[in-house]
Amino acid sequence: MVQPAASDLRQQLIHCQIFFIVFSSIIGTGVFTGNARALELAGPGGMVFTVGLVGLLACGVGETISELVQLFPTPNGVFEYVNAFVDPDWAWITSIMYWYMYASVFANQMLGAAKFWSYWRHPEWIAPMLFYGIFPVVFLGFNFLGVRWYGRVETVLGTAKVFLLFIIACILWNIARTEDLTRLNPTDQGIPYNPLGVTHNPILSSNSPLAICQSILYVAFSYIGIETFAVAAFETKRVKDIASRTLYGMTYKLKQSSPFQKFSNLWAVIKVPHWALLISIIFMLLPAIHGILSAIPSQRDRVIFLDTIIEVVQLTASISCLMVWFPVSGICQIGVLGLAQPRWSG
């Protein structure tokens, strides 16, 4: 494996900060929007089954990466582990999917936050100003700070998310106990009412198995972040081998013989592949474009088209997430158990 110098990054994170960094990465708008979409597609039983199935896979990813980080510390672990235990070509694909997964998250998070904000019926100009203008600039500047400040802020925000989820769970539990849920019977819309079973929505899906398969894509998006151990662990004070937080640390330079090699040329200033930087900037601009078009009454059709593009990006990001998880959680575990010998690069 490649062994970076001790001065490559500032090793200032402690274990609780890493925990909250991973925790904050998992808990986002996908927890609410993704599960709600699964509930709409497959009903209560289908949502529980889908969340449990993807959750088991996420647990396997977290457990595997935790062991790999301790046994084989290396920079750019998502690529190196698949490259060592599986196949170099599969590692290349996994790296690209891992980058794409995170490059698309920012736009979806900002749009999701703006939709939640609109629930309270504030003036329409507030949400675009906050989530399409101020917050992206603040987050961009925040990423220029040192890792120590990053860990502190994530610890505070992660703690707040824990209390927020607990409060929301208590509210929903009391609503379910006290409210007459029969008035929410969806049979008026032609949907069979079966709160404990897999009740697919005939408007969105033709049968229950298909509804569950569709729900997996939405639920998987809410689990993005469980593999953050592979990146954050190398920022600790007690680990010498550390990984980069840049886009280059999440991608892999293409082979010289590859027809796509020209897209992997690095920008000399920040050492990021040109194609990765370009597409990431496009994704970051999606919320701003959405906000501008939403403010123009004559552009409503284009807003609907942009919503479709963003939903496609979210679904493909979920597919990318699953493509990263399968080799990391399954086949890499074979190598950890000693059934395969790693092919370390470098």
- Token pair recorded at residue 165: 């989820």
For the chain, the domain total comes to 1
What's the pLDDT at 72? 72
Distance CA 60, CA 19 (A): 17
Alpha carbon distances (Å) from 139 to 18, 33, 250, 302: 19, 22, 19, 27
Residue 246 confidence (pLDDT) above 50? no
Distance CA 216, CA 199 (A): 15
- Per cent of the chain over pLDDT 70 is 56
Alpha carbon distances (Å) from 274 to 26, 106, 174: 28, 19, 52
pLDDT (mean) for 100-118: 76
Q: How confident is the model at residue 284 (pLDDT cuts 50, 70, 90)?
A: low
Distance CA 95, CA 85 (A): 15
Query: Looking at per-residue confidence, does 36 or 146 come out higher?
Result: 36
Q: How confident is the model at residue 1 (pLDDT cuts 50, 70, 90)?
A: very low
What's the pLDDT at 326? 61
Distance CA 221, CA 71 (A): 28
192-216 burial code (b ≥16 CB/10 A, e <16): eeeeeebbbbeeebeebeebbebbb
Phi (first) and psi of residue 241, to 5 degrees: -85, 120
pLDDT per residue as tens digits for the range 178-215:
655 555 554 444 455 555 566 777 777 778 788 888 88
Q: Which residues contact 234 (CB under 8 A, 6 or more apart)?
A: 9, 11, 69, 73, 75, 77, 241, 242, 243
**Range of lowest pLDDT (3-7, 115-119, 150-154, 209-213):** 3-7
Q: Is residue 229 part of a domain?
A: yes
**Cβ neighbours of 128 (radius 10 Å):** 18
Alpha carbon distances (Å) from 270 to 182, 247, 248, 277: 58, 10, 9, 10
Q: Which residues contact 81 (CB under 8 A, 6 or more apart)?
A: 65, 68, 72, 74, 230, 328, 332, 335
∠108-114-119 over CA atoms, to 5°? 130
Contact 251, 99 (CB under 8 A): yes
Q: Is residue 162 part of a domain?
A: yes
Q: Is residue 1 part of a domain?
A: no
Residue whose entry in the numeric block shows the structure tokens 């008026």: 188
Alpha carbon distances (Å) from 280 to 6, 147, 277: 29, 22, 5
Contact 281, 298 (CB under 8 A): no
∠79-96-78 over CA atoms, to 5°? 20
Q: Is residue 234 part of a domain?
A: yes
Q: Is residue 345 part of a domain?
A: no
What's the pLDDT at 257? 46
Query: Looking at per-residue confidence, does 345 or 11 come out higher?
Result: 11
Expressed as residue numbers, the domain containing 180 is: 15-336
Residue 36 confidence (pLDDT) above 50? yes
What is this structure's pTM? Answer: 0.58
| H or E segment and range at residue 92 | helix 88-103
Residue 231 confidence (pLDDT) above 70? no
pLDDT per residue as tens digits for the range 38-92:
888 888 788 888 888 887 777 777 777 777 776 776 767 777 877 887 778 777 8
> With the C-alpha atoms ordered 93, 94, 99, 100, is the resulting torsion angle positive or negative?
positive
Q: Is residue 205 part of a domain?
A: yes
Q: How confident is the model at residue 244 (pLDDT cuts 50, 70, 90)?
A: very low
The most confident of the ranges 59-68, 119-128, 149-158, 191-200 is: 149-158
Strand partners of residue 267: 272
| Dihedral (Cα; 216, 222, 224, 226), 10-degree rounding | -100
pLDDT per residue as tens digits for the range 211-223:
888 888 788 777 7
pLDDT (mean) for 29-43: 77
Q: Residue 40: helix, strand or coil by DSSP?
A: helix
Where are the extended beta strands (E) located within the chain?
266-267, 272-273
pLDDT per residue as tens digits for the range 286-327:
766 766 677 676 776 777 777 777 767 766 666 666 666 666
What's the pLDDT at 317? 66
Distance CA 50, CA 35 (A): 9
What's the pLDDT at 253? 43
What's the pLDDT at 162? 80
Q: How confident is the model at residue 281 (pLDDT cuts 50, 70, 90)?
A: low
Q: Is residue 197 part of a domain?
A: yes
What's the pLDDT at 111? 77
Q: Is residue 96 part of a domain?
A: yes
